[in-house]
Amino acid sequence: MGELLDRLEPLLAKMPTVKAPEGHVHFKNKLMWTAGILVLYFALTNIPLFGLDPSSQDIFLYFRALLAGASGSLVALGIGPIVTASIVLQLLKGADILHIDTSDARGQVMYMGLQKILIIVMVIVEAAPNLIGGFMKPDPVIANMFFGGNLFAVSLLIFIQLIIGGLLIVFLDEVVTKWGIGSGVGLFIIAGISQALINGFLNWAPVNDLYPFGFFPRIVAVLADGANFLQYMGTEMLAFVSTIVIFLIIVYVESTRIEIPLAHAQVRGARARFPVKLIYASVLPMILVRVLQANIQMIGLFLNNIGITIFGTYDGQTPVSGLMWYLAPVNGPQDWMWWITDLGHAPWEIILRLGIDVIFMVVGGAIFALFWIKTAGLDSKDVARQIQSSGMSIPGYRRNPQVLEKYLDRYIPRVTVIGGVFIGLLSVAANLFGVIGAVSGTGLLLTVSITYRLYEEIASQQIMEMYPFMRTFFGKE
């Protein structure tokens, strides 16, 4: 693999990328870049695909909250290709098949170039089944009006639009990462889910019955009408309580940490602490797990649409039988409360599906969390190197990277696994009871955690603006 990468190095180095700033970017400019990209993202989600038939299926309907894309829009693929490429790279790096040292400039260029190639491949791979599988249908009216009735030409045009939209998301993510605050992936997830939450709380339009869809207008309408409260507000109240509980748990857990004391080797009295949070790897590995599930369901739906039902059958975008039904995530009470609604499956089958979902999330969360810290430079070895280069050391221990690494190994791997398992369990629990706005429990969990960390980053950016010497210390300049 190393020899192949060396041969590909000229290509990897020439991959199109957003130029990084040469010096320090002022905090106000970072805010302006971030806000500008956010406005542009919302604009893209409101540009429909030209030539798309209104009766088309949304292959990622149940994963929209995580993929941060809008159904039928130019950015319908969302962050799916970015995350899928990240899964492939993490698996290769975690299995020691991919040997790239991202601590030096050459390694970073090669890694980013390889990631960009994989993202482009994934954009094509995820766009193609939408057309070949019959999910996105060409509009016959557009075909007759502009292409002489040629439906293939319209399908090709839709395919090109999907690729353009997928690549735009990639570059918007890079702009936020290099010129703004946080990451584009996190920003787009927050934007999409926040919009859905506002819709879930305040939408006064009826959707499934005579009463408004939004929680607050609905509860007022049901009480004013004297209707059966439990019938019309039972699941909504459960989702409301679940939303509040998830919010409080994540805020509390984000502040739970182990602090490792540090002292400066040369500046007497200079002390600091290195925090190892309970959610050390952040909640981003959960995106990887859910997107992996989304890709599995995409394959199953694609096979079903071309007549291969050996792995399961679908009703629209919903799996109803076979292996794909068991592998599909549980998205709310309507998927498992068999004593309230006839689900068409025996109780033991529903319990087995719940068990598979729990195992998938817990094991996947732990594995991807370990892979994530290794890829992101957060494992014991990389953290020890960072502490050593900053001039800090652990009081009472020799100032040696190997000693630091051995000490950090007591905490980082264990906390990473515990955090991954905990987030996996919390994600499943949130999905079981549902949340406001028809967003998944995993989506809400991601939004709260990413927002909390974005707040922390904004606070640290403001501190470094007030005390510029700290930028050098933290490697920000």
Mean of pLDDT over the chain = 84
Residue 449 confidence (pLDDT) above 70: yes
Query: Which whole-number Å values give the CA distances from 269 to 239, 258, 260, in the listed order?
Result: 51, 22, 16
For 256, list phi and psi in degrees, rounded to 5: -85, 125
Instruction: Read off the pLDDT of each residue in 241-250 and give the average, rounded to a whole number.
Output: 89
Residue 132 confidence (pLDDT) above 90: no
CATH 1.10.3370.10 fits 1-17+27-180, yes or no: yes
Contact 221, 211 (CB under 8 A): yes
Tell me how far the alpha carbon of residue 406 is from its chain's centroid. 32
**Same fold for the domain at 1-17+27-180 and the one at 218-477?**
yes
Q: Which residue has the tokens 């995993």?
A: 442
Residue type, 425: L
Residue type, 372: W
Query: Which whole-number Å values give the CA distances from 477 to 24, 69, 104, 412, 474, in the listed order?
Result: 6, 33, 16, 27, 8
196-218 CB burial, b ≥16 within 10 A, e <16: bbebbbebeeeeeeebbbbbebb
Q: What pLDDT does 325 receive?
A: 94
Residue 122 confidence (pLDDT) above 80: yes
For 394, list phi and psi in degrees, rounded to 5: -90, 125
Beta-carbon contacts of residue 400 (< 8 Å; ≥ 6 apart): 388
Q: What pLDDT does 473 receive?
A: 46
- What's the farthest any 2 CA atoms get from each other in the chain? 80
Instruction: Read off the pLDDT of each residue in 54-65 and give the average, rounded to a whole number.
Output: 79
Alpha-helical regions (H) of 203-346: 215-225, 229-254, 284-305, 322-327
Contact 212, 218 (CB under 8 A): yes
pLDDT tier at 2, thresholds 50, 70, 90: low
pLDDT tier at 355, thresholds 50, 70, 90: very high
What's domain 218-477's superfamily in CATH? SecY subunit domain (1.10.3370.10)
Residue 267 confidence (pLDDT) above 80: no
Q: What pLDDT does 133 receive?
A: 66
Helix axes 27-45, 184-202, angle to 10 degrees: 60
Instruction: Read off the pLDDT of each residue in 436-458 and give the average, rounded to a whole number.
Output: 83
pLDDT tens-place string over residues 186-209: 899 898 888 888 989 998 888 778
Instruction: Read off the pLDDT of each residue in 55-73 and give the average, rounded to a whole number.
Output: 81
Q: What is the pTM of this model?
A: 0.81
**Can you tell me the distance from the alpha carbon of 11 to that of 9, in angstroms, rounded to the nearest whole number?**
5
Beta-carbon contacts of residue 22 (< 8 Å; ≥ 6 apart): none
Give the percent of the chain with pLDDT over 90.
Answer: 22
Give the percent of the chain with pLDDT over 70.
Answer: 93
Q: Which residue has the tokens 């990462």?
A: 177
pLDDT tier at 397, thresholds 50, 70, 90: confident
Residue 274 confidence (pLDDT) above 70: yes
> How is 241-277 classified by DSSP, letter by letter?
HHHHHHHHHHHHHHT-EEEEEEEESSSTT-EEEEEEE
Beta-carbon contacts of residue 347 (< 8 Å; ≥ 6 apart): 338
Token digits for 87? Answer: 């899964």
Query: Which whole-number Å values give the CA distances from 137 to 223, 298, 299, 315, in the listed order?
Result: 43, 16, 18, 17
Q: Where are the domains of the chain?
A: 1-17+27-180, 218-477
pLDDT tier at 392, thresholds 50, 70, 90: confident
Q: Which residue has the tokens 């020439």?
A: 14
Contact 377, 103 (CB under 8 A): yes
pLDDT tens-place string over residues 314-353: 987 889 999 999 999 888 888 888 887 778 899 999 999 9
pLDDT tens-place string over residues 79-92: 889 888 887 887 77
Query: Which whole-number Å values give the CA distances from 205 to 46, 213, 332, in the listed order?
Result: 20, 6, 22
pLDDT tier at 58, thresholds 50, 70, 90: confident
CA nearest to 214, candidates 227, 223, 229, 201: 201
Q: What pLDDT does 373 receive?
A: 85
